[in-house]
Amino acid sequence: MNILIIEDHFLVRMSMRILLQDLYSEAYVDEVEGFDHAMERIQSLPYDLILLDIDIPGGLGTAMVGRIRKQQSDVPILVCSAADEQLNALDFISAGANGFLPKSAEKAETIRAISTVVKRNRYISQAVQDRLLSSVVYNKQSRKRPTGAKSLSGREREISELLIAGKWVKEIAAYLDIQSNTVSTYKARIFEKLGVSNVVDLARKIREPERS
């Protein structure tokens, strides 16, 4: 099994290598810092998995996926990035990547993402799946889309109440048995939906009388 890590931070590459070698002890793990160097490797060696960062020297955004596909059309590509997954995940999936993994993901989620794309399946976090499902549901509904607190899903409402109660992201993650980065994604989406920037305003928005 040949694996290519395209990542310009040494410590991130090292941690990825350690995890990959634990998962696939016989794998050959290759590393490059920039996209141009990556393309040279891809042209000379077939890979069974590519881990791709977004913000790298010579990076071309979603176009990088297409460039890789021209050389190796079937290779599983897992984008691993610190960029906001809510803003980037679906764009990279649409461009042809097999998955999008936030760099803040914990070990269990990282293993799950790698195992999923190696099987040539798609991987996005639960939070992004929920957002995608909500979008599909809303687009199919003929009635006016709910606004304010009414627009929150059950999980979003639950996390809102915990935030208002003064719980930290890690505390909420432990309480709900989900990943910390998933809670952070939910929090960002809640703030975006309600047009708030802090928990005080969130509490005010949640508690204000519902308008018909």
Helices 180-194 and 169-176, axial angle in degrees (round to 10)? 110
Q: 145: which DSSP letter?
A: P
Query: Tens digit of pLDDT for each residue in 18-37?
Result: 999 999 999 999 999 999 99
Query: Tens digit of pLDDT for each residue in 41-83?
Result: 999 999 999 999 988 999 888 899 999 999 999 999 999 988 7
Same domain, 114 and 49: yes
Same domain, 34 and 110: yes
pTM: 0.64
Same domain, 117 and 159: no
Same domain, 170 and 109: no
- pLDDT-based confidence at 211, cuts 50/70/90? very low
| Cα 132 to Cα 157: distance, rounded to the nearest angstrom | 18
pLDDT of the residue at 182: 85
pLDDT of the residue at 77: 96
Determine, yes or no, domain membership for 212. Answer: no
Query: Tens digit of pLDDT for each residue in 141-160?
Result: 545 555 667 778 888 889 99
- Contact between 13 and 7 under an 8 Å Cβ cutoff? The reply is yes
- What's the order of all strands across the beta sheet hosting 2-6? 28-32, 2-6, 49-52, 77-81, 99-102
Determine, yes or no, domain membership for 16. Answer: yes
Last residue of a domain, one of 78, 105, 124: 124
Determine, yes or no, domain membership for 155. Answer: yes
- Which of the pair, 40 or 89, is modelled with greater confidence? 40
Query: Tens digit of pLDDT for each residue in 91-135?
Result: 898 889 999 998 888 899 999 999 999 999 999 887 777 766 665
* Number of folded domains that form the chain: 2
pLDDT of the residue at 132: 65
pLDDT of the residue at 142: 42
Last residue of a domain, one of 70, 99, 124: 124
What type of residue sits at position 32?
V
pLDDT of the residue at 72: 94
- pLDDT-based confidence at 205, cuts 50/70/90? confident
What is the domain extent for residue 98? 2-124
